[in-house]
């Protein structure tokens, strides 16, 4: 950078201008070195002051930077502390929530157990009341039955020539009908249980009834008992008529609004026209028959069924040892019927090859744990299905 001493010298005066310019050059020549020295010293001083200022500014910047970093460090530390504190609070809340949920679960389970216990107690009380009432009714029926039996016996003894009328003999037999009704109530199972088991027949006879549209096809339930299957079929839109020789059973069916007839199964079927029935079912009946009666019933059913109709015979499964205890519990049972035997009788009567449907599996907790093939074989023999149904169609 040039200094003021080195600037060009000039004058605007035309006459004496040359003298003035020469004078100024002379003066600059004399004092120029001194002024240059002064200017140089000032320049160096200015540069020193500038460097000092820059150093001070740099130190201040570094100090500001350090303070800023310190502030940020403190802020970060406080942020981490606050985050840790919030995380701890969140953890406490989560633990509190889990504890509350566990407490609520315990309360729920406790209430459920308490409720179930109360329901169980109520059921037991109802069961006790029911049993007491049944015992009272049964006792009253026994007294009435004994009195009636005595009257009928006296009538019989008073009859001329010892001849007893058919009506008196039939009345004496019906005196004991209520006994079998109470027997089934105690050992066969509740209506709901039997309806659930026999619901498998609803689609069978619904399909059969659909084969005869507009003809009001009917299904005959032989040995209808308390009418569980009649109710199942009625709910499925299938017309069914129950037949039972037990007066108490028929009374119970009619009381429930079901169509039932008190009659002997053979006599009732024989009174019907041949090929007039869409379906015939007999649940837990054939084990009450001897071989000749069973064979005759199968042939009679074949005659009365329409072409395309179906017959179903359900009975206790003799291939299950567990199921046989139910067979021997009922003193009116005569002999168990093997699935192959009833299937053979149906085929020889003219039915198409029957289908065997196994029913009423033994509860899992009762059967053996099938840890190997031998246990599985034992289960099939000892704890096999308790019932089976033989289902066959009349050739169309």
- When pLDDT is cut at 50, 70 and 90, the band that residue 50 belongs to is confident
- When pLDDT is cut at 50, 70 and 90, the band that residue 206 belongs to is very high
- When pLDDT is cut at 50, 70 and 90, the band that residue 170 belongs to is low
Single pTM value for the model: 0.60
* Residue 308 falls in which region: left (phi positive, over 0), alpha (psi -120 to 50) or beta: left
Ranges 5-9, 12-16, 224-228: which has the least confidence = 5-9
Structural domains in the chain (count):
1
Tell me, yes or no, whether 78 lies in a domain. Answer: no
Q: Report pLDDT for 187.
A: 61
Tell me, yes or no, whether 146 lies in a domain. Answer: no
Token reading at 37: 């020295």
- When pLDDT is cut at 50, 70 and 90, the band that residue 242 belongs to is very high
Tell me, yes or no, whether 244 lies in a domain. Answer: yes
Token reading at 353: 């090859």
Tell me, yes or no, whether 77 lies in a domain. Answer: no
Give the H/E segment covering residue 341.
helix 339-349
- What value does the mean pLDDT take over residues 146-170? 62
pLDDT > 90: percent of the chain: 42
What does the alpha-carbon distance between residue 154 and residue 162 come to, in Å, rounded to a whole number? 11
By three-state DSSP, how is residue 395 classified?
Answer: coil
Tell me, yes or no, whether 340 lies in a domain. Answer: yes
Q: Report pLDDT for 7.
A: 66
Q: Report pLDDT for 275.
A: 95
Main-chain phi, psi angles of 316, to 5 degrees: -70, 140
Tell me, yes or no, whether 286 lies in a domain. Answer: yes
Q: Report pLDDT for 54.
A: 72
Q: Report pLDDT for 316.
A: 96
The string of pLDDT tens digits covering residues 285-302 is 999 999 999 999 999 999
Ranges 44-53, 104-113, 265-274: which has the least confidence = 44-53
What CATH number is given to the structural domain containing 382? 3.40.50.150
- What value does the mean pLDDT take over residues 64-91? 80
Q: Report pLDDT for 125.
A: 80
Q: Report pLDDT for 161.
A: 58
- What value does the mean pLDDT take over residues 318-322? 95
Ranges 182-196, 330-344, 378-392: which has the least confidence = 182-196
Tell me, yes or no, whether 369 lies in a domain. Answer: yes
* Residue 206 falls in which region: left (phi positive, over 0), alpha (psi -120 to 50) or beta: alpha
Contact 230, 258 (CB under 8 A): yes
- What value does the mean pLDDT take over residues 300-309? 97
- What value does the mean pLDDT take over residues 352-367? 94
Answer with the residue of higher pLDDT: 367 or 128. Answer: 367
- What is the chain's mean pLDDT, rounded? 84
Find all residues with CB under 8 Å of 385, minimum gap 6, and list them: 317, 320, 323, 358, 359, 360, 361, 362
Q: Report pLDDT for 159.
A: 66
pLDDT > 70: percent of the chain: 84
Please name the residue that has the structure tokens 């929530």: 97
What does the alpha-carbon distance between residue 7 and residue 116 come to, in Å, rounded to a whole number? 117
What number of other Cβ atoms are within 10 A of residue 285's Cβ?
20
Strands 387-393 and 305-316, bridge-based pairing: antiparallel
What does the alpha-carbon distance between residue 90 and residue 107 come to, in Å, rounded to a whole number? 25
Residue 255 has pLDDT above 70, yes or no: yes
Q: Report pLDDT for 99.
A: 86
- Per the structure, the complete domain to which residue 218 belongs is given by 189-393
Q: Report pLDDT for 59.
A: 74
DSSP state of 368: P
Sign (positive/negative) of CA torsion 86, 91, 92, 96? positive
Token reading at 80: 């981490």
- What value does the mean pLDDT take over residues 201-217? 92
Q: Report pLDDT for 168.
A: 56
- What value does the mean pLDDT take over residues 95-123? 85
Tell me, yes or no, whether 311 lies in a domain. Answer: yes
Find all residues with CB under 8 Å of 135, minimum gap 6, and list them: none
């Amino acid at each position: 950078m040039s200094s003021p001493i080195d600037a060009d010298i000039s004058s605007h005066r035309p006459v004496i201008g040359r003298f003035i310019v020469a004078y100024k050059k002379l003066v600059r020549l004399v004092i120029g070195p001194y002024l240059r020295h002064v200017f140089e010293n000032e320049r160096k001083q200015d540069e020193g002051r500038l460097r000092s200022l820059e150093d001070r500014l740099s130190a201040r910047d570094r100090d500001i930077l350090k303070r800023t970093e310190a502030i940020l460090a403190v802020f970060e530390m406080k942020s981490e502390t606050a985050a840790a504190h919030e995380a701890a609070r969140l953890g406490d809340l989560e633990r509190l929530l889990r504890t509350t949920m566990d407490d609520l679960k315990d309360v729920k389970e406790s209430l459920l157990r308490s409720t179930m216990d109360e329901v169980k107690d109520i059921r037991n009380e109802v069961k006790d009341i029911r049993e007491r009432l049944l015992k009272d009714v049964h006792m009253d029926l026994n007294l009435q039955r004994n009195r009636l039996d005595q009257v009928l016996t006296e009538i019989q003894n008073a009859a001329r020539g010892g001849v007893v009328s058919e009506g008196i003999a039939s009345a004496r037999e019906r005196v004991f009908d209520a006994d079998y009704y109470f027997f089934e109530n105690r050992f066969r199972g509740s209506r709901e249980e039997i309806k659930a088991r026999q619901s498998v027949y609803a689609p069978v006879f619904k399909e059969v009834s659909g084969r005869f549209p507009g003809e009001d096809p009917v299904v005959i339930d032989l040995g209808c008992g308390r009418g569980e299957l009649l109710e199942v079929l009625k709910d499925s839109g299938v017309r069914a008529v129950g037949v039972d020789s037990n007066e108490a059973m028929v009374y119970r069916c009619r009381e429930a609004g079901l169509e039932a007839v008190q009659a002997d199964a053979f006599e009732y079927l024989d009174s019907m026209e041949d090929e007039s029935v869409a379906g015939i079912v007999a649940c837990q009946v054939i084990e009450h028959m001897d071989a000749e009666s069973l064979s005759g019933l199968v042939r009679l059913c074949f005659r009365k069924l329409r072409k395309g109709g179906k017959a179903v015979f359900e009975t206790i499964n003799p291939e299950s040892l567990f199921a046989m205890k139910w067979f021997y519990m009922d003193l009116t049972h005569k002999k168990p019927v093997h699935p192959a035997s009833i299937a053979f009788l149906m085929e020889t009567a003219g039915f198409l090859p029957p289908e065997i449907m196994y029913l009423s599996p033994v509860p899992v907790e009762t059967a053996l744990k099938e840890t190997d093939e031998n246990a599985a074989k034992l289960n099939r023999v000892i704890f096999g299905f308790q019932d089976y149904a033989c289902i066959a169609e009349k050739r169309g």
